[in-house]
Amino acid sequence: MTRFEYHKPHTIKEAIGLMGSLENAKFIAGGTDVMVLIKRKKIAPAHLISLRNINDFSSIDIGDGLQIGGGVTHSDIVANEFIQKRYSALTDAAGKVGSRQIRNVATVSGNICNAAPSADTACPLLVLDADVKIAGPKGERQVPLDDFFLGANRVDLGPGEVVTGFHLPPFGLNTGSAYIKHTRRQAMDLPMVGIAVRVTIRIGGSEIGCKDAFCTIDSISNILRRLEDEELRCEDVRIAMGVVAPRPVRARKAEAALKGKVISEALFEEIAEIAASEAQPRDSIRGEAWYRREMVKVLTKRAILISVDRVLRPDDMILRGHDAASCPRVRG
Amino acid sequence: MSDLTTVGKKITKRDAPLKVTGGATYIQDLKIPGMLYGGILYSKYAHAKILKLDTTRAERLPGVMAVITAADVPNNFRFGIMKDNPPLKGGRVRSTRDEIAAVAAVSAEIAAAALELIEVEYEELPGIFDPLEAMKEGAPLVHEEMKSNILKMPWKLICGDVEAAKKESAYVVSDTFRTQWVTHCCLGTSGCIAALDTSNNLTMYSNTQIPSLAQNDYIEALAAFGLKGRRVRIIQCTIGGGFGSKLDTYAYEYIAILLAMKTRKPVKFIFSREEEFFATSPRQCSITKISQGCDKDGRLTFREMEMVLDNGAYTSWGATTPSVMMMPISSLYKVPNIKYVAQCVYTNNTYSQAMRGYGNPQATFAIESSLDQLAEKAGLDPYELRFRNANEPGELTPQNFQVTSCGMKECMAEVVKRLDWKGKKGNGNGRGVGMASLIHVGGGARVYKSDGCGTIIKMDDRGKVDVLTGATEIGQGSETVLAQIVAEVLGVPIDDINVINNDTDVCPWDVGAHASRSTFVAGNSALGAARKIREQMLAVAAQNMGEDPASLDIKNGVVFSRNDKEKSLPLSKVLRKVHYTSGGKMFMAEHFYDPPNENFDKEFKGNLSVSYAYGVHGVEVEVDRETGQVKILNYIAAHDVGKAINPMLLEGQIYGGGLMGIGYALGETMIYEKGRLKNGNFLDYKMPTAKDVPPVQAVIVETDEQAGPFGAKGIGEPGLVPTAPAIANAIYDAVGVRIKDLPITPEKVLRALQEKAQADTGRSGA
Amino acid sequence: MKREITFKLNNEERKVEVDPGWTLLYVLREVLELMGTKEGCGYGECGACTVIIDGLSVNSCLYPILEAEGRAVTTIEGLRAASGELHPLQQAFVNEGAVQCGFCTAGMIMSAKALIDENEKPTEDDIKDNIAGNLCRCTGYVQIIDAIKTVAGGGRT
């Protein structure tokens, strides 16, 4: 078994201090990546500085959007109903990472710091305009996640710096988001492709309210068709793609092509084509490039549709089964 | 048979309480005082010359007790069925799993560190990884002394006249099907402890599923190592999964023996998960050309198959799977004319072995996929074609299999009913149904000179029973099934039965846990021994009770008279009376059952098994036309099992086999690049998880096999045999594309859909 | 350098001298000789090593031992009642045929326990989701899911 010293600081300051004073040290959070790298002999740190025991590090705070602490695990995200409703894409992703055992200890910041092109939470955080909060020997700073990723497994962290959490701006009820992870198995898998989308929608300039027409189990495609005259407009949109480039990336051309437009399924298809053209997937044992590109197309459209659906029909509005009588909005 | 008390019941697994409390001892958990830990250095290349091998630095590492290389293997010892596999390879390596050096050290950590200190220089040689390339004239030879890469195993079966039948057939289809490398994925990795006593007798703590054959292998090895005539005792730990992976002995076991000889200490090997993936022997890939035909009424006229199998660099049981493939080829459905040839080809890939189904899944994938093609050509519902040609009791198949019980049609009926076949077939709405059948040996398989198993039963003074069996428990539940059989015959509570099944010093001979034979063969053996002891006990009880033995019965450990319910005597009293008397005796009985099945003759014909197991799987799938993903909506696995001795354990075999089959069909594949395994881990090898389990029904069809213990037949392997073709057929029904090479990945489905769309456009355009 | 740590193991305070490089699994098996927790892969990909730490299922093969300090660790050995009676989940696994080779069983039961402790009435999807990290090659999972359902429906202790 590999030998290393293990340190358990209680404050970030202490952690950064340790990092500055120790040779060949590495931060460890949930350890599900770091321990694997050590066991596979990819890294051999002399010291591990644990972030598990930092005080007040695992909180999820609402207010001015959303603050996610550096020690927040994937399971913490999954259990948070506010995130599920208002930052749905993040819940989608967190719930699909590894296994329950992994999610129980693996942190979102750890997932982001590894900067694997397949990191599941990266795409949702990109579309949710997350800023990365960083602390280091020179103090604290905050950078947009898009700037934080520098390349394949490379992030904007200087010597001794550590990610202390994320800030996500608030989004109104007219914003919906989704993440689709395309895998070979239903669990315990890395994405062949991961697509996250966030859309903000306006109808004729006013916010969408409750419409009885939406209280239905019909497909979102059909609902969109019925709402053609309503001029649902895409006010804002983000599309992020995983495993199609050395790092998680935004499909900026596709975003630009959708922003401000009246939405329709046909338009989404065009947008998806553009996103696919922006993807630069490679062949690997985990998937073929042509297929990945094809999936960007399919999943982008689907993720947009789910996001739109989540605006038009929030979870608490969707009927349970076919029992229309139980829907307060129908009765009201 | 209706008043059975134990057989036919849902009896909980005997070893389950130990396993749910963490108390079972697997090879991983076993420590012997003074034990050393072994490690193996594998080749860096799939094909290379070893120019230099220097172990000096490793030997100097404190804690290292021995380092051995090919030079330490006496008498050029080789193992495997073709004796082409040295436990340590010198001079030349032929695959990336070639063992070139091994160490024994005081800890696993030191052993691993020592391996890194061994210096090797290679000269890489061009390798050959495609069996079709390897067959070509002038291809580099994997074993030069063999003169050819094609193994000298003339697999050829001819029944009737295929050429004549072709001419007379109204419809004929031909195609090529391919299957992939897949592996067992036992959750407990391989391992052993080799320990020699002061007289050099060997005790091997082992995971083997063939204790008696492994014992023989080690005896041969000891002889080659200069220890002729020494005894070998095999003690099996609780086995963390078998599925065929432990049907042969491996290099690491011989290396453990050599290291134990050199260090005079017990030496333990435990494979890491990576080693388990690349250094155990998987199911080989296959390329199959198949033609089948039928007459205008849909009666099958002939089946012709030609197969190439990647043997890998050395030879284990993988090379003999064609013998089992012949079974479905000749006898799945009624087909009068058969031609089959198979060639096993050396390559620089990993070498292949037995895996659940033993060739049958590969052959059945081709047969059952092709049958659907034939049905379409003949304008028949695939079910109708199958039903018209279904096997039936009393049939003598072209390969001379005597079909006794056969529930194929009943299984088919269950599938059709439960799947709503007629309602769901051919709707072309992205959803579709498919089916496929299977035949497998269900009454032993005479692949060796003996297909036997022995049982010894002894009774103690309190009416408790020790059953010493040759049968191996690999999780499938043979221990419980045997206990049920003995409890039923002796009329004692099942908790009074103790099964001892893990020590060759006390357990009788058995050919092994293979060929779905344990319930049938070991069951019949236990049945025979139990009957003998029952007879002895009743004779004594009769004397004591003044009754005719024929009028006595035993229930719940008490002997009673059927004529006079008042007359009874606890079994324990009977036993003590006989024991504690002058000239007394203890009740013991032994029985060796060797089924009356036949070895194949020179033409590969003969009644391989006393009975045959049948089954039909039906599946409804939904295909995502945009992603190519296949979702199983409903899965029906109907099996003719003769008689279910324990329905719960039996369903466990069907569910387990079924999901293994689904993995085979839809996702699992060992990805080799130039002979190196690229996905040897549980993340990249897509064994199904709990979330991949579809709605599945295990349907038990009972046909009461007269030769089986209480009417039972084998069920260990059948569960995965027809899965892949049933799914492939359902996909075709759903979206009109046929995937002919496993696994059926989303990529393949999507590409096929795109090609079909192009072809359709082309057609409609023209 | 060895360090002494204290943690609660199966409801008992334990003091152990450990090397900081060890994992919890290593300490359980090699130091404390609790062999019920298995190593199936060593990389968190199979779940055979699952234990419960402060109520959550965790892969002990990736868990640095020093993190166990001051925490409550439950292993398969800690499930049985003092009377020797099996935990309802253990009994359900026996009753429903959820055990074959048994190598995954301990981890599987620990994942199931963490689930029903958190959610008394999990749905089938919840069950699958929570044991998806526990690979089993023998059973096809069907009877495992059935076993957990029988406990999840009630009768939980």
Predicted confidence band of residue A323 (pLDDT cuts 50, 70, 90)? very low
Q: Convert B387-451 into a string of H (helix), E (strand) and C (coil).
A: HHCCCCCCCECCCCCECCCCCHHHHHHHHHHHHCHHHHCCCCCCEEEEEEEEEEECCCCCCCCCC
* Cβ <8 Å between A287 and B688: no
What b/e string do you get for A186-203 counting C-beta neighbours within 10 Å, with b at 16 or more?
bbbbbbbbbbbbbbbbbb
Q: Judge: B627–A295 Cβ closer than 8 Å, yes or no.
A: yes
Answer yes or no: do A186 and B689 touch at CB < 8 A.
Answer: yes
Closest CA to B290 of B299, B303, B300, B301: B303
CB contact under 8 A, B25 and C35: yes
Query: What pLDDT is attached to residue A204?
Result: 60
Residue among B23, B186, B655 minimizing CB distance to C143: B655
- Taking chain B, what is the end-to-end CA distance rounded to the nearest angstrom? 68
Phi, psi of B83 (to 5 degrees): 50, 45
- Please list the residues that pair with B493 across neighbouring strands: none
Q: What are phi and psi of B280, to 5 degrees?
A: -105, 165
- Per-residue pLDDT at A241: 98
Residue type, B559: V
Report whether B214 contacts B509 (CB < 8 A).
no
How many Cβ atoms are within 10 Å of B126's Cβ, its own excluded?
Answer: 9
| B237 has pLDDT over 90 | yes
Q: In percent, how much of chain A has pLDDT > 70?
A: 90
Contact flag C132-A186 (C-beta cutoff 8 Å) = yes
Topology of domain C88-151 in CATH is DNA polymerase; domain 1 (1.10.150)
Q: Average pLDDT in the B242-266 region?
A: 98
Query: Following DSSP, what letter does each residue of A299-319 receive, concatenated?
Result: HHHHHHHHHHHHHHS-GGGS-
How many Å apart are CA B427 and CA B406, to the nearest integer? 32
Tell me which of B12, B14, B18, B21 to substitute to probe the interface with C (most C C-beta atoms closer than 10 Å). Answer: B21
Of C35, C102, C142, the CB nearest to B475: C102
What fold does the segment set B452-593 form as a domain?
A: Aldehyde Oxidoreductase; domain 4 (3.30.365)
What are the residues facing C3 on neighbouring strands? Answer: C18
Name the residue among A1, A189, A285 with its Cβ closest to that of B678.
A285
pLDDT at B766: 54
Mean pLDDT within B541-549: 94
Chain A residue at shortest CA distance from C27 = A1
Closest residue on chain B to A40 (Cα): B274
Q: Write the residue in C23, C57, C69 that is nearest to A100 by C-beta.
A: C57
Touching subunits for chain C (3+ Cβ pairs under 8 A): A, B
Q: For chain A, list the contacting chains (3+ Cβ pairs, <8 Å).
A: B, C
Interface size between A and B, measured as CB pairs under 8 A: 40
- Closest CB to C101 among B12, B188, B657: B188
Q: Which of residues 708-747 of B touch A (CB under 8 A)?
A: 745-747
CA angle B622, B626, B630 (to 5 degrees): 30
- Report d(CA C48, CA C39) in Å as an integer: 6
- Domain parsing of chain A, residue ranges: 1-55, 175-317
What mean pLDDT is reported for chain C? 96
Average pLDDT over residues B321-338: 98
Residue whose structure tokens are 């009880």: B541
CATH 3.30.43.10 fits A1-55, yes or no: yes
C22/A100 Cβ within 8 A: no
What is the rounded distance in angstroms from the CA atom of residue B348 to the CA atom of residue B337?
Answer: 36
Architecture of domain C3-77: Roll (3.10)
Name the residue in chain A with its Cα closest to that of B626: A298
CATH 3.30.390.50 fits A175-317, yes or no: yes
Secondary structure E strands in A145-301: 149-151, 154-155, 162-168, 175-182, 193-203, 232-242, 249-250
What is the rounded distance in angstroms from the CA atom of residue B429 to the CA atom of residue B734?
6
Is the CB of A40 less than 8 angstroms away from the CB of C19? no
Q: Which of A182, A174, A170 is nearest to A263 (CA)?
A: A174
Q: If you count them, how many residues does chain B have?
A: 766
Residue B537 · residue B575 · CB < 8 Å: yes
Pick the closest to residue B27 from B201, B219, B192, B258 (CA basis). Answer: B192
Alpha-carbon distance of B733 to B434, in angstroms, equals 7
Residue-wise pLDDT tens digits, C111-152:
999 999 999 999 999 999 999 999 999 999 999 999 999 998
Q: What topology is assigned to B31-125+190-270 in CATH?
A: Aldehyde Oxidoreductase; domain 3 (3.90.1170)
Q: Residues of C with CB below 8 A from A181's CB?
A: none
How is chain B split into domains, by residue range? 31-125+190-270, 286-446+601-760, 452-593
DSSP summary character for residue C64: B
Contact C133 A100 (CB under 8 A): yes
Q: In the numeric block, which tokens belong to residue B291?
A: 């033609």
With contact defined as beta carbons under 8 Å apart, do B702 and B592 qualify? no
Burial class (CB in 10 A: 0-12, 13-18, 19+), B725: buried
Contact list, B109 vs chain A (CB under 8 Å)? 1
How many contacts (CB atoms, under 8 Å) link A and C?
92
Least CB–CB distance from B475: residue in C45, C48, C138: C138
pLDDT computed for residue C114 by the predictor:
98
Which range, of A90-94, A205-209, A259-263, B245-249, averages the lowest pLDDT? A205-209
pLDDT at residue B3, rounded to an integer: 85
Mean pLDDT of B564-581: 93
Scanning the structure block, which residue is given the tokens 């600081």?
A9
pLDDT of residue A1: 53
Does C133 contact A99 at a Cβ distance shorter than 8 Å? yes
Q: d(Cα B433, Cα B421) in Å, to the nearest integer?
A: 7
Mean pLDDT of B112-124: 98
Cross-strand pairs, A58: none
CA distance A14 to chain C (A): 17
Q: What is the mean pLDDT of residues B213-238?
A: 98
Q: Is the pLDDT of residue A46 over 60?
A: yes
Q: What is the pLDDT of residues C8-44, one digit of tens each?
A: 999 999 999 999 999 999 999 999 999 999 999 999 9
Task: Tell me which residues of chain A have a C-beta less than 8 Å from any C-beta of chain B.
Answer: 1, 182, 184-190, 285-288, 291, 294-295, 298
Asked if the B286-446+601-760 domain carries CATH number 1.10.357.10, the reply is: no
- C-alpha torsion sign, points A274, A278, A282, A287: negative
Of residues A327 and B419, more confidence is placed in B419
pLDDT at A128 > cutoff 90: yes
Does B12 sit within 8 Å of C94, measured CB to CB? yes
- Whether the bond between B398 and the residue before it is cis, its omega within 30 degrees of 0, is no
Cβ count near C144 (within 10 Å): 33
| A48 in C contact zone (CB under 8 Å) | yes
Chain segment B77-95, per-residue pLDDT in tens: 999 999 999 999 999 999 9
What is the distance between the alpha carbons of residues B153 and B159, in angstroms, rounded to a whole number? Answer: 19
DSSP string for residues in B17-80: HHHHTT---BGGG---TT-EEEEEEEPSSSSEEEEEEE-HHHHHSTTEEEEEEGGGSGGG--BT
A328: pLDDT strictly greater than 90: no
Same fold flag, B286-446+601-760 and B452-593: yes
Q: Which chains touch B (3 or more CB pairs under 8 A)?
A: A, C
d(CA B225, CA B230) in angstroms, rounded, equals 11
pLDDT at B650 > cutoff 80: yes
- Residues of C engaging A, defined by a Cβ cutoff of 8 Å: 1, 19-23, 26, 42-45, 47, 50, 56-59, 62-64, 66-67, 69, 111, 114-115, 128-135
Cα C100 to Cα B247, B513, C115, distances in angstroms: 18, 15, 22
Closest chain B C-alpha to C119 CA, distance in angstroms: 19
Q: Does B683 touch chain A (CB under 8 A)?
A: yes
Mean pLDDT of C60-77: 98
B186-193 average pLDDT score: 98
B272 and chain A: CB distance < 8 Å anywhere?
Answer: no
Q: Looking at CA atoms only, how far is residue C74 from chain A in angstroms? A: 14
| C137 with B241: Cβ contact below 8 A | yes
B746 with A288: Cβ contact below 8 A: no
* Angle formed by the axes of helices B647-666 and B723-735, nearest 10°: 60
Q: How far is C41 from chain B (nearest CA, A)?
A: 5
Rounded to whole angstroms, the Cα distance separating C36 from C104 reads: 10
User: What residues in A contact C59, CB-CB < 8 Å?
Assistant: 32, 99, 101-102, 105
Alpha carbon distance B613, B231 (integer Å): 38
Smallest CA-to-CA distance from A75 within A85, A83, A65 is with A83
CB B581 within 8 A of CB B599: no
Q: Do A50 and C21 touch (CB under 8 A)?
A: no
Q: What is the pLDDT of residue B2?
A: 59
Which residues on chain B are in Cβ contact (under 8 Å) with C145? Answer: 690, 693
At A327 the pLDDT is 40
Asked whether the beta carbons of residue B474 and residue C101 sit closer than 8 angstroms, the reply is: yes
Residue contact A102–C59, C-beta within 8 A: yes
Q: Do A101 and C47 touch (CB under 8 A)?
A: yes
Predicted local distance difference test score (pLDDT) of residue A56? 95
Q: What's the whole-number mean pLDDT along residues A59-79?
A: 97
Contact A101 C42 (CB under 8 A): no
CA of B135: how far to CAs of A328, B153, C53, in Å? Answer: 73, 14, 57
Q: Does the pLDDT at position B695 exceed 70?
A: yes
Interface list for C 106-145 with B (CB within 8 A): 106, 109, 127-129, 131-145
Are C94 and B20 a contacting pair at CB < 8 A?
Answer: yes
Percent over 70 (pLDDT), chain B: 99
- CA B189, CA B375: separation in Å to the nearest integer? 44
